[in-house]
Amino acid sequence: MMEAMDTQTTTYSDDELTAALAEHLASLDRDDSYRVERVLKRSSVETTELVYFEGTGGGSLGPFVRKRIDASAQIGGAYGRLFAAQRAGRRFEHLPRIVDCHRVGDELNVVMEYIEGETLRALVDRLGATPDYARELYPALCDAVGELHAGFAMAGETSAPVIHRDLKPSNIIVTGANYTPDDGLTFSSLVIIDLGIARVWRDGADADTVKFGTRPYAPPEQYGFGQTSVRSDVYALGALLFFCLTGVDPKPGLDMREQCEARGVPTPLADAVCMSMALDPAKRFASAEALGRATRSAYDLSRPVRPPTPAPVRTPASETVLTLQGLQNPAGLPRPAASAACGPLSRVPESLGRIWNALVCFSLLVFFAGSHFAVFHPTGANQSYPTWLLIIEYFFFVDGLMVLMHFALLDKRRLRRRFALLDSYRGKKLAKLWLKALGVLLLCMIVIVAVANATGVVDTSAT
């Protein structure tokens, strides 16, 4: 059941061999008792199914997830190690419980518990991207990866880190996630799934035997530039942090600092992302737990300052720190206001925000059409005005006023992530800018009307 690169020579007694054979035969018998409800995922090397176990008496158990893996591709070995560790009594808070794991020829069959919940991608799509993920959920994700890196060794064995190699939003299952103004973002549990291409780290190996991964979340060494290590998963965690903060996958090959700035990521959190995703593994955080602690500190630095000022965050002297821009000596730095602070809209799904924006834009287009008609098909008193004056009146003043009013109604979250300048204007600062623009518009209108009256273009005495 193990990968070729993870296999170790073990000596078994006759009783152990007999018990193992009996268990293997029982597993083969159970294979025919699983009813496939539906196929969840299929690839050239793996099929994932939702199954129920049908008992001889007519009852059923489930649902379970069954993976049928092509073992000749040298993947799936981590499931066997996890199964053995769980049978030996070890408990893993953030990993699924394996029910059965056996190999028949070149096919590895793994049956595990079905995890209720939603993927991290579905969660971010539902609640929207927000720095609030960095407060509790993301540090919990780092702890979950740290649990994987602690390895599956049993008593008396030397522990070696298990590298996931495919950490991405669809492989993180979150249960009971909710957002309230008082409690912020809360959740019940977080589980990492899909250990198909996970591997055990080997001291002295030059590169991975098998090269897989999801490009936006896979580090360079995963494609043949060296052996993957815990810092390879740290790279993927940095990409996941970027996804939680922006709602989009990072773009490989582009500078991460520029991507963070374009999306309005607060500087301390951007520092965490950039350090995690450094091309040189030696420049990344040394562990997932260190990244989790630094991200929580970065979140504290990014929160708006509210009186009374909360007590500074104390960190151990040995804590991994970021660059001078971010978390260098977090306890001694002031807390700047976050450029992407959470507001009431953070609790509204961005999909609804996009629908609302479409309605606002449609309303604006209706007003534009009305202005066009008033200029080129004037009625009433407008018929006596020259066309150039009507163009100034409707296309500049009326349409400008409508643009200001509709802009105030927009859901600006996506705009703030795209345009960093807009993100710097929030609350009273944005309201002052809006009022200034309105004042300039009205002042220009008054001046133009006064000049038109003075020159006789508009004669108000006739009305």
- 187-219 pLDDT tens trace: 999 999 999 999 886 665 544 445 566 889 999
Q: What is the pLDDT of residues 262-313, one digit of tens each?
A: 999 999 999 999 999 999 999 999 999 999 999 999 999 987 655 555 555 5
Whether 108 and 127 map to the same domain: the answer is no
Dihedrals φ, ψ of 131, to 5°? Answer: -65, -15
> So what's the pLDDT on residue 459?
59
Q: How far apart are CA 285 and CA 288, in angstroms?
A: 7
Q: What is the pLDDT of residue 417?
A: 61
Residue 236 has pLDDT above 50, yes or no: yes
Domain end marker among 285, 315, 346:
346
Compute the distance between CA of residue 96 and CA of residue 85 in angstroms, rounded to an integer.
12
Percent of the chain with pLDDT strictly greater than 90: 43
Q: Which domain holds residue 439?
A: 349-462
pLDDT at residue 20 tops 60: no
Is residue 122 domain-shared with residue 227, that is, in the same domain?
yes
What are the residues whose beta carbons fall under 8 Å from the beta carbon of 380, sequence distance 6 or more? none
268: preceding bond cis by omega (within 30 degrees): no
| CA distances from residue 340 to 304, 337, 355 in whole angstroms, order as listed | 10, 9, 22
Verify that 156 and 281 share a domain, yes or no.
yes
276 with 152, same domain? yes
Residues 6+ apart with CB under 8 A from 5: 74, 199, 200, 202, 205, 209
Q: Does 37 share its domain with 22?
A: yes
Give the integer Cα–Cα distance in Å for 355 and 125: 14
Lowest mean pLDDT among 97-106, 182-191, 395-404: 395-404
Place of tokens 């009783």: 15
User: How many domains are there within the chain?
Assistant: 3
Domain CATH for 311? 1.10.510.10
Structure tokens at 405: 């009013």
Tell me the pLDDT band of 132, cut-offs 50, 70 and 90. Answer: very high
| Same domain for 60 and 207 | no
pLDDT tens-place string over residues 309-330? 555 555 554 444 444 444 444 4
Please give the pLDDT value at position 59. 78
**Do residues 249 and 394 both lie within one domain?**
no
Which residue has better confidence, 273 or 341?
A: 273
- Alpha helix segments (H runs only) across 163-287: 230-246, 256-262, 267-276
pLDDT grade for 65, boundaries at 50, 70 and 90: very high
Confidence of residue 335 (pLDDT cuts 50, 70, 90): very low
Q: What is the CATH number of the domain that holds 78?
A: 3.30.200.20
Do 138 and 257 fall within a single domain?
yes
Torsion of CA 159, 165, 170, 176, to 10 degrees: 20
Is the per-residue pLDDT at 441 higher than 60?
yes
Q: What global pTM score does this model have?
A: 0.62
For residues 100 and 148, membership in a common domain is answered with no
In this predicted structure, which of 53-67, 199-213, 237-251, 348-362 has the lowest mean pLDDT? 199-213
| Residue 4 pLDDT > 70 | no
Last residue of a domain, one of 97, 113, 129: 113
Same domain for 342 and 367, yes or no, is no
- Which one of 113, 132, 163 terminates a domain? 113
Cα–Cα–Cα angle for 285, 186, 178, rounded to 5 degrees: 125
> Are 103 and 122 members of one domain?
no
99 and 129 in a common domain: no
Q: Is 98 exposed, middle or buried (0-12, 13-18, 19+ CB in 10 A)?
A: buried
